[in-house]
C-alpha cells in the first residue's frame, strides 16, 4: 500500500501510528489494521490538543474560529433551546454570579458555554467548540484577562447571552456571543502587540 501512495514504509508506519493514537485506526495483532467506529467528537478531540499547545498568534486564530462558531451555535440555541436547557444555562450563570473564586467561575463559564452548544442541536459543532474551549486553553487566557476586571464584564456578557436565549432571539444571541468572545480576542491581540 505504501508504494501505491508514493510513501516510504517508515512514513506509512508513522501515519498508521498517529491515526491509531487519534482513535481512527485500531491495530489488531496478527489480524491487521481496522478503521474504528467513530463519532464526530472522537476525531474532533484533537482541537483541544491543538488549543492546549498553541501560543501567540495561533491563540488569536483559535479565538477567531471560536467567535465564529460560538456565535452561530448560540444563534441556533436561541431558536431551539428547551425550557430545561435554558434552566441549566441559567443555573451556571447564577453560580458564576455567586462566587469570586476564579476556579469556580471558570468551571461554570465552561459549563455555561457547553450547555448552549448542546442546545444548538449540532453535535459536530458542539464537539469542535468543546475542543476549542478546553480547560487549559481557557484557563491560560483567563488568568491574564481577569486582571483587568474581566469577572464583571464576563458576567454582563453572559447575562446578555442569557437574555437573548430566553427571548428566543437568534440574532441578539449571535451578537451577544460574538461580542463576548470578541472581547477576549481583542484583549489577547493587545497583549501580543503588533
Tens digit of pLDDT at every position of the chain (194 positions): 555 666 677 777 777 777 777 677 788 888 888 877 766 555 555 555 555 555 667 777 888 888 999 999 999 999 999 999 999 999 999 999 999 888 888 889 989 999 999 999 999 899 888 887 774 466 556 655 666 677 888 899 999 999 999 999 999 999 999 999 888 888 778 877 76
Q: Are residues 148 and 178 in the same domain?
A: yes
Instruction: Tell me: do 71 and 20 sit in the same domain.
Output: no
Give the integer Cα–Cα distance in Å for 163 and 77: 12
Say whether both 51 and 138 belong to one domain.
yes
- Give the separation between CA 72 and CA 163, rounded to whole angstroms: 16
Same domain, 31 and 111: no
Domain assignment present for residue 102? The answer is yes
Beta bridge partners of 25: 35
- Do 61 and 145 lie in one domain? The reply is yes
CA 69/CA 145 separation, integer angstroms? 21
In this structure, the strands spanning 25-28 and 32-35 are antiparallel
Q: Are residues 99 and 69 in the same domain?
A: yes
As a whole number of angstroms, the distance between CA 77 and CA 119 comes to 5
Cα radius of gyration (the chain): 20
Same domain assignment for residues 163 and 78? yes
In a shared domain, residues 80 and 125? yes
| pTM of the complete model | 0.73
My answer on whether 80 and 103 are in the same domain is yes
Instruction: Give the domain extent around 149.
Output: 42-192
Same domain, 19 and 47: no
Q: How many domains does the chain have?
A: 2
Residue 48 belongs to domain with CATH number:
1.20.120.530
Amino acid at each position: 500500500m505504501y508504494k501505491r501512495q508514493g510513501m516510504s514504509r517508515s512514513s506509512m508506519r508513522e501515519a498508521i501510528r498517529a491515526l491509531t493514537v487519534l482513535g481512527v485506526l485500531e491495530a489488531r495483532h496478527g489480524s491487521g489494521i481496522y478503521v474504528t467506529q467513530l463519532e464526530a467528537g472522537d476525531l474532533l478531540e484533537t482541537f483541544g490538543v491543538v488549543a492546549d499547545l498553541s501560543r501567540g498568534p495561533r491563540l488569536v486564530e483559535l479565538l477567531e474560529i471560536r467567535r465564529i462558531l460560538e456565535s452561530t451555535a448560540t444563534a441556533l440555541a436561541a431558536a431551539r433551546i428547551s425550557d430545561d436547557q435554558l434552566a441549566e444555562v441559567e443555573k451556571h450563570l447564577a453560580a458564576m454570579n455567586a462566587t469570586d473564586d476564579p476556579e469556580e467561575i471558570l468551571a461554570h463559564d465552561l459549563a455555561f458555554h457547553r450547555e448552549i452548544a448542546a442546545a444548538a442541536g449540532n453535535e459536530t459543532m458542539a464537539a469542535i467548540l468543546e475542543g476549542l474551549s478546553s480547560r487549559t486553553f481557557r484557563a491560560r487566557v483567563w488568568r491574564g484577562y481577569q486582571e483587568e476586571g474581566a469577572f464583571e464584564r464576563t458576567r454582563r456578557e453572559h447575562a446578555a447571552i442569557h437574555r437573548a436565549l430566553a427571548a428566543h432571539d437568534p440574532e441578539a444571541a449571535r451578537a451577544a456571543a460574538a461580542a463576548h468572545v470578541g472581547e477576549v480576542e481583542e484583549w489577547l491581540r493587545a497583549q501580543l502587540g503588533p
